[in-house]
């Protein structure tokens, strides 16, 4: 009997000792506090260590590494706020890095102690309890339910989370496409316009044929632009309104397009129907320009479009914030006449697909001014080279065709600050080169040379 008791005690002791050794580490994903507006994202991108991103909407966001030990997870490099006895206990920001531990209750829950010790009385989250209970959010619908608790108070760092970190925890695939759209629409309804902007941007980046998302994005961008003195693309809302209309017309749903859009963009319907008949699939409008090209005082029109085949968009990799898009881009020009529109040119060479997500999208804008058609582009990459610059094209109307009249190139090296400005006149067959230093300051004499090109370069063939 005594032997059995000893065996049972040993078994219990062994079980107690062994339990922490076999404790399951937390799943990767997003953990959200039930009592505070705090999010902790746990990632393991390389499988040899964990990394966390802490999103505290009342303070400074931080990130660092995680160490899994038994039934606890250790957070290092946390930024803290602290109390001072001399200032009536007022909270102060601090850059002091410290460590706290969270207990692993289950693969989907953890609790974190919300203070340091007597020697380091730093606080992690101002206004929260000593112990915070976190539950893992594993899908977009759960995220929407959390938002509907109305505890979310967006601060200065919220846009970064929605634009960069959100996609790390929730894949943008067809299974949750509708859920992402519902969450974005909820954010818009609640007035969280920048959050909705970031989420809708990713949604149409991944699903460019999701027609209603372009309408929602355009509505959001109208409001975002009203609160900013400057926005990088002032016509971004117009391009997505036109994209929405074009895709609705393609789907034969003209009757349910909102009347407000028909009042503003009704004159575009005929040309969009013509483009639909030519392209024969959905597309996104990247740029648009109106003006007189041939001197007949009628308003001609040009579009840069990108085909909207979602199956030509690759999965997001760990080092990019945009989806690699293999859809071709097409530059179209139409002359306005008494019978409607006549196609003047179609170029598929100048603008390549936007597949390099470590680089900026090279397209800037198109313009028609003084009977000239211009395309403005730039290049800049975060990896693969130190070059940066711009290449702009100018076309003119001659003998019922568009020909390349000139090209202006600015090349610059971010490391050495040296570069060159190259101006090519395809009408006079001469090229001017000016070397530069200090990111654009002229240096040395201007060099002139003749170019060998003997024939006009037609719009359709230009590259």
Query: 398 is written with which tokens?
Result: 């001659």
pLDDT digits (tens, 9 = 90+) for 304-338: 999 999 999 988 766 667 889 999 999 999 999 98
Per-residue confidence (pLDDT) for residue 2, from 0 to 100: 46
109: exposed, middle or buried (C-beta count within 10 Å: 0-12, 13-18, 19+)? middle
Q: Is 418 within a domain?
A: yes
Domain-embedded: residue 314: yes
pLDDT confidence of residue 343: 97
457 inside domain: yes
**In this predicted structure, what is the pLDDT of residue 448?**
96
Cα 217 from Cα 230, distance rounded (Å): 18
Count of CA atoms in the C-beta half-sphere (13 A) of 166: 24
Could you read off the pLDDT of 244-254 as tens digits, one per residue? 999 999 999 99
| Count of helix runs (H) and strand runs (E) in the chain | 10, 21
Beta strands in 107-231 (DSSP E): 109-113, 122-123, 131-137
**Overall domain count for the chain:** 2
Nearest-angstrom CA–CA distance, 248 and 215: 10
* 3-state secondary structure at position 157: coil
Confirm whether 114 is domain-assigned.
yes
Kindly give, in sequence order, each residue whose CB lies less than 8 Å from that of residue 6, ignoring residues fewer than 6 positions away. Answer: none
pLDDT the model gives residue 80: 56
Q: Give a yes or no: residue 27 inside a domain.
A: yes
For residue 331, tell me if it sits in a domain: yes
299 lies in a domain?
Answer: yes
Low-confidence spans in the chain with pLDDT less than 50: 2-3, 5-7, 9-23, 83, 89, 91, 230
Which residues contact residue 317 at a Cβ distance below 8 angstroms, ignoring those fewer than 6 apart? 324, 357
Boundary (domain end) residue, out of 92, 111, 138: 138
Of 104, 120, 138, which closes a domain?
Answer: 138
Segments forming the whole domain that contains residue 50: 19-138
CATH code of the domain containing 129 = 2.40.128
| 250 in any annotated domain | no
**pLDDT (0 to 100) of residue 455:** 81
Cα–Cα distance, 19 to 72 (Å, whole number) = 12
Domain boundary among 138, 158, 182: 138
Residues 282 and 212: their CA atoms lie apart, in Å, by: 13
């Amino acid at each position: 009997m005594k032997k059995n008791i000893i065996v049972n005690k040993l078994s219990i002791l062994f079980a107690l000792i062994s339990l922490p050794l076999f404790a399951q580490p937390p799943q990767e994903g997003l953990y959200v506090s039930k009592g505070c507006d705090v999010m902790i994202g746990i990632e393991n991108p390389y499988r040899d260590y964990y990394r966390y991103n802490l999103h505290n909407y009342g303070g400074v966001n931080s990130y660092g590494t995680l160490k899994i030990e038994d039934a606890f997870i250790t957070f290092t490099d946390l930024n803290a706020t602290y109390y001072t006895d001399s200032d009536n206990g007022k909270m102060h920001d601090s850059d002091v890095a410290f460590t706290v531990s969270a207990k692993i209750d289950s693969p989907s829950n953890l609790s974190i102690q919300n203070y340091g010790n007597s020697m380091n009385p730093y606080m992690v989250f101002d206004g929260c309890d000593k112990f915070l209970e976190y539950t893992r959010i594993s899908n977009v619908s759960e995220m929407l339910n959390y938002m509907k608790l109305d505890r979310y108070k967006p601060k200065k760092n919220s846009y970064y989370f929605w634009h960069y970190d959100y996609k790390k925890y929730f894949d943008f695939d067809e299974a949750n496409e509708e859920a992402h759209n519902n969450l974005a629409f909820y954010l818009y309804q609640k007035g969280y316009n920048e959050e909705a902007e970031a989420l809708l941007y990713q949604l149409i980046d991944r699903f460019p044929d999701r027609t209603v998302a372009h309408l929602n994005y355009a509505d959001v961008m109208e409001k975002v632009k009203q609160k900013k003195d400057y926005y990088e693309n002032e016509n971004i809302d117009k391009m997505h309104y036109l994209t929405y209309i074009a895709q609705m017309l393609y789907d034969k749903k003209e009757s349910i397009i909102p009347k407000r859009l028909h009042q503003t963009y009704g004159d575009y319907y005929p040309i969009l129907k013509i483009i639909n008949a030519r392209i024969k699939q959905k597309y996104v409008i990247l740029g648009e320009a109106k003006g007189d090209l041939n001197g007949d005082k009628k308003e001609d029109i040009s579009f840069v479009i990108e085909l909207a085949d979602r199956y030509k968009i690759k999965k997001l990799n760990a080092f990019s914030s945009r989806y690699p898009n293999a859809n071709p881009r097409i530059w179209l020009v139409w002359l306005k006449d008494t019978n409607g529109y006549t196609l003047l040119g179609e170029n598929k060479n100048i603008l390549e697909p936007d597949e390099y997500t470590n680089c900026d999208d090279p397209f800037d804008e198109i313009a028609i001014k003084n009977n000239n058609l211009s395309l403005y582009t730039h290049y800049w990459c975060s990896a693969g080279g130190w070059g940066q610059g711009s290449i702009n094209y100018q076309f003119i109307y001659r003998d019922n065709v568009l020909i390349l009249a000139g090209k202006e190139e600015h090349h610059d090296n971010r490391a050495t600050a040296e570069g060159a400005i190259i101006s090519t006149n395809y009408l006079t067959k001469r090229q001017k080169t000016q070397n530069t230093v200090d990111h654009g300051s002229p240096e040395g004499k201007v060099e002139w040379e003749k170019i060998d090109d003997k024939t006009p370069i037609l719009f359709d063939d230009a590259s």
